[in-house]
Amino acid sequence: MFKKVLIANRGEIALRVIRTCREMGIKTVAVYSTADKDSLHVRFADEAVCIGKPASVDSYLNIPHIMAAAEITNADAIHPGYGFLAENARFAEICGEHGIKFIGPTPAMINAMGDKITAKETMIKAGVPVVPGGGGLLESVFEAKEMAGQIGYPVILKATAGGGGKGMRVVWNDSELEKAYDSAKAEAAASFKNDGIYMEKFVVEPRHIEIQVAGDQYGTVCHLSERDCSIQRRHQKLVEESPSPFMTRELRYKMGEAAIKAASAIKYESVGTIEFLVDKNRNFYFMEMNTRIQVEHCVTEEVVNFDLIKEQIKIAAGETISGVNYEPQGHAIECRINAEDPYNDFRPSPGRITTLHQPGGHGIRVDSHVYAGYTIPPYYDSMIAKIIAVARTRSEAIDTMHRALTEYVIEGIKTTIPFHLQLMKDENFRSGNFNTKFLDGFKMK
Ligand code: MV4
């Protein structure tokens, strides 16, 4: 097992990893930017190294600075968390070159899923259902028109280097195609330095359901059931839950098998997630694979009673997994609390937290790095806490969540708590009647 893990991240996920390391008897090294010198991850780690100025490119994305911190502290492994360098194949490779274990998949696995056309081709070969149409880079708008004619409108253009909505355009007819093609290409070039785009049939009002998987270094892969992440706004997830209210035993079995095929196709090692679009008839299609631990991993932990970070570290250290799949027990819901104003288009609201009271009690878990007197810096993402409510049934979990939200006191900044309070009382949300379009029609009272 590792002796000392450096956590190349900040915020709640850095704390989350430090907690598990401490339970496992592993020493930890925090890295931090000058903006984060008063952060809890710095105080909770055994050692801490400042790696640069506030801007991410100067600190949490600065590979030479992070490697230097690992070398001077004698860390034998690096945990990347999520975001920042978590899906950077070159970083994973550099760790290897320095004899430091990257706690995650190999660079080849990251690359195999990082390019979306390659990923889709790999999935087709593996027998995993993908969205019909497309396949391959579009070479011209003429080719795009021809393909749209074959597939039938509506279609969607996506960036092969993309993910998370950038460089994506929905096209409803021939007359819109040229403009959408040009703007998708330009946005892809600007965002990813790669202007490759491809086409798919557009799945109308899909649910976003993802399957958590784990694979060890010896080829064993298992799944840990699903998360429903359909409650999103501008490709930012706000609420996640497990099980999905749309799930059936049969669909879970089929999606679980498909997810295992997907991960096995690249001999996936570490924990990861296969994202699917699911239509109203419960047809499901591979969308992308996240080769990292995700923000919402906690809902899975609560329903399968499993520490995913511990599992990820053990897999990286060469331990085997059993290969059994997991059924969710009970129900878990996560609300992301962001320093944003839900009454003003979710505008970021950084600043000093003057008063803080965190909720607790039966069925409540709070993962957060903030404290009274903490100043949220403006340089990074705005998530300041995750509340996870666990109960036997979905409706009890929603009631527990609502109760916890009423207890939460955060003064000095605006937060998304009022949004979640309203959502937990929304009839359509409570009945499970929602898809990825749900928040388009949601208004704050
Ligand atoms: C789609 C789609 C409908 N049809 N692909 C959004 C992010 C990116 N990873 C892929 N996305 C979508 N791809 C086809 N063929 C609809 C979306 C989509 C979406 C997916 C999941 C969650 C929220 C979403 C919001 C808008 C669009």
Whose CA is closest to atom 19 on ligand 1? Answer: 436
Residues in a beta bridge with 31:
49
Q: Which of 148, 170, 201 is the last residue of a domain?
A: 201
Element (H, E) at 228: strand 221-233
Q: Which residues constitute the domain of residue 185?
A: 132-201
Q: Which of 181, 201, 221 is the last residue of a domain?
A: 201
Instruction: Give the CATH number of the domain where residue 146 resides.
Output: 3.30.1490.20
Whose CA is closest to atom 3 on ligand 1? Answer: 203
Residue 201 CA: nearest ligand 1 atom is: 15
Residue 436 CA: nearest ligand 1 atom is: 23
pLDDT band at residue 134, thresholds of 50, 70 and 90?
confident
Probe ligand 1: pick from 191, 208, 285, max atoms within 8 Å of CB?
A: 208
Q: Are residues 150 and 283 in the same domain?
A: no
Cα 319 to ligand 1 centroid, rounded to whole Å: 36
Whose CA is closest to atom 12 on ligand 1? Answer: 165
Pure H helices in 236-279:
249-265
Can you tell me the distance from the alpha carbon of 250 to that of 254, in angstroms, rounded to the nearest whole number? 6
**Res 280 pLDDT > 80:** yes
Asked if residue 118 is part of any domain, the answer here is no
Probe ligand 1: pick from 147, 155, 277, max atoms within 8 Å of CB?
A: 277
Domain count, the chain: 3
Can you tell me the distance from the alpha carbon of 272 to that of 269, in angstroms, rounded to the nearest whole number? 8
Q: Are residues 146 and 48 in the same domain?
A: no
Q: Are residues 302 and 213 in the same domain?
A: yes
pLDDT in tens, 212-244: 999 999 999 999 999 999 999 999 999 999 999
List ligand 1's pocket residues with C-beta within 6 A: 131, 156, 163-165, 200-203, 206, 208, 232, 235, 277, 287-288, 436
pLDDT in tens, 135-157: 789 999 999 999 999 999 999 99
Q: Are residues 227 and 197 in the same domain?
A: no
pLDDT in tens, 166-194: 889 999 999 999 999 999 999 999 999 99
Whose CA is closest to atom 20 on ligand 1? Answer: 208
- Strands 101-102 vs 409-411: parallel, antiparallel or unpaired: unpaired
Cα 165 to ligand 1 centroid, rounded to whole Å: 7
Whose CA is closest to atom 10 on ligand 1? Answer: 165
Cα 158 to ligand 1 centroid, rounded to whole Å: 9
Average predicted confidence (pLDDT) for the chain: 97
Can you tell me the distance from the alpha carbon of 276 to that of 435, in angstroms, rounded to the nearest whole number? 13
Let me know: does 184 contact 157? Beta carbons within 8 Å: yes
Predicted confidence at residue 132, as pLDDT, reads 87
pLDDT in tens, 314-342: 999 999 999 899 999 999 999 999 999 99
pLDDT band at residue 298, thresholds of 50, 70 and 90?
very high
Q: Which of 82, 103, 124 is the last residue of a domain?
A: 103
Cα 170 to ligand 1 centroid, rounded to whole Å: 10
The answer to whether the pTM exceeds 0.75 is yes
Longest distance between any two alpha carbons in the chain, whole Å: 62
The DSSP annotation for 36-81 comes to: GTT-HHHHHSSEEEEEE-SSGGGTTT-HHHHHHHHHHHT-SEEE--
Let me know: does 80 contact 9? Beta carbons within 8 Å: yes
Asked if residue 91 is part of any domain, the answer here is yes
Residue 230 CA: nearest ligand 1 atom is: 22
Q: Report the percentage of the chain scoring pLDDT > 90.
A: 97
- Here the tokens at position 31 are 């890295």
Whose CA is closest to atom 16 on ligand 1? Answer: 203
Cα 433 to ligand 1 centroid, rounded to whole Å: 18
Instruction: Give the CATH number of the domain where residue 38 resides.
Output: 3.40.50.20
Q: Are residues 304 and 403 in the same domain?
A: yes
Asked if residue 127 is part of any domain, the answer here is no
Can you tell me the distance from the alpha carbon of 389 to that of 393, in angstroms, rounded to the nearest whole number? 11
Asked if residue 124 is part of any domain, the answer here is no
Q: Are residues 259 and 333 in the same domain?
A: yes
Predicted confidence at residue 124, as pLDDT, reads 97
Predicted confidence at residue 157, as pLDDT, reads 96
**Res 162 pLDDT > 90:** no
User: Active-site residues: which are they?
Assistant: 292
